[in-house]
Amino acid sequence: MNYCSNCGAADLRTEVPKGDTRPRLVCGQCGDIHYRNPKIVAGCLPIWEDKVLLCRRAIEPRAGYWNVPAGFLELGETVEDGAMREVWEEAEAKVKIHGLQTVFTFTKYWHVYLQFVGELVDGKFGVGEESTESRLFSEEEVPWDEIAFESSRFALHRYFEDRKKGEIKLHIGSI
């Protein structure tokens, strides 16, 4: 960051603001503190009967790999709305969310993934603009070596483990 997003001054300094414990960028002109916080990624694992819906990515990063529909939360959006929007954008599908399934922190990229489990409405889906293919997979059919992100792999493994036990639990992971 070269300029203050509040006043436009090029007078940014790294210092620990009064009452804080961490170094922050502080504008020397207006005193605005610029916090750098993780980005929220909202997603949903759509379920139909005994299968999960995955999408093959048409965009980078990891174009060509399979993924649980997910993406960055937009301002003014609830996490649930963001997850449902992502399912629509990637698979042209609507879901009824059953509950939060995973919280996964990817510290290297400052992302926090909130992934839900939801049922496909009427089992209908297509291929959205961000995907080249959408498909239902049984556990045995999941292309594990072609899963785009560790957060998706984590969510899928936990979902199938929970299903065998007849429960839905909240799982927390990180990398």
User: Residue 106 has what pLDDT?
Assistant: 94
Question: How many CB atoms are closer than 10 A to CB 71?
Answer: 18
In order along its 175 residues, the chain shows pLDDT tens digits of: 999 999 999 999 999 999 999 999 999 999 999 999 999 999 999 999 999 999 999 999 999 999 999 999 999 999 999 999 999 999 999 999 999 999 999 999 999 999 999 999 999 999 999 999 999 999 999 999 999 999 999 999 999 999 999 988 999 999 9
- Of 67, 48, 164, whose CA–CA distance to 115 is shortest? 67
Q: What span, in angstroms and rounded, lies between the C-alpha atoms of 117 and 99?
A: 6
Sequential DSSP letters for 123-159? G-----TTEEEEEEE-GGG--GGGBS-HHHHHHHHHH
What pLDDT was estimated at residue 168? 82
pLDDT at residue 37 in the model: 93
Structural domains in the chain, CATH included, are 1-36 (2.20.70.10), 39-174 (3.90.79.10)
Residue type, 131: S
Measured torsion, CA atoms of residues 58, 63, 67, 68, in degrees rounded to the nearest 10: -50
